[in-house]
Structure 1
Amino acid sequence: METIYRYSVQLLNGETIALKQLQGKPVLIINIASKCSFAAQLSALEKMYKKYHSFGLEILAFPCNQFGRNEPLEDAMLKEFYNSHFDLSFMICNKVQVNGPDAHPLFNYLKSHTRGISQNRAIKWNFTKFLVNSEGELVSRYAPRTKPDTLRPVIESHLYNEDSPIQFAKL
């Protein structure tokens, strides 16, 4: 089965991450935008990351300017904005395109294995979320309006280890 492990991404700090480094961890992948009305979800995502990261959860956020020109910032300004407004500790990647001929290959993979709004493969807006299991396989796709807190049960189910049950307190 095809996985995300064949891809690499570049972080805002210039570091390149081979996604096979995330093997054994569930990963939430999101296209984000600083000026989007859904940007408040970043605080909820950070809260989720802080709670579940020690259990293996990784979050990869990809700034994207393809929807409503909601991500006008570039490079250092992106890093400054997300750090100063949201104090994000999860990985923020370089700005990418998620649709069209210049779409990042990771998003082409994610779209080819799921359908979104109206059963369409294209990403329709910022804050579309993709959950990948610890084997690197795409589990599910979530609409931009899906609040991060509603993903808790499914994320917890992917963090559960039969040999060592984990009990999660409420966020």
Structure 2
Amino acid sequence: MTQPTLTAQELITWVEKTSTGWRNLLATHPELLAAPCDVNNVQSVAQLLQHIVAVELRFAERLSDLPATDYTKIPYDSVEEIYATHDHAFSLINKLLSSNMDWDQPIEFSTRVMGPARSTPKTILFHLLLHSIRHYAQLATLARQQGIKPDWGMDYLLMNLEAV
């Protein structure tokens, strides 16, 4: 009997679909960037989005053996700036997926909150992907509270659901 597996590419596809939905919604409703937000000790939705893409970028850089971009240098003044960071992070991730990386060999890195740490690249990759999804779910609640309703299904089930 085989066990079901979720591949990195399947999870990346879900994150990209979700990110694209938010990019489009925010392009239509850029006023949402200024909405108040208390998630992760930030003040605005723009800062929450900065946090989402900063984690994507900084972990993609660590996995690529590049210096992590200074968090305060990651822009969040516009939808375009926010998602340019996301796009850059995912270009790094896609290069890594086609490389010969040993996804199970632990690496050492430093985090903003915990300091020095060690984990496998596989764990780091899945963390950055699930981290984005988790915060996008929180953002959906914030958007609805501002009277802006996302118009796409965000559940993973909808990635491969067929009506019968």
- TM-score between both structures, scaled by the size of structure 1: 0.29
Question: Which is strand-richer, 1 or 2?
Answer: 1
**Which fold has the larger relative contact order, with Cα–Cα distance below 8 Å and residues 6 or more apart in sequence?**
1
Larger radius of gyration: 2
- TM-score between both structures, scaled by the size of structure 2: 0.29
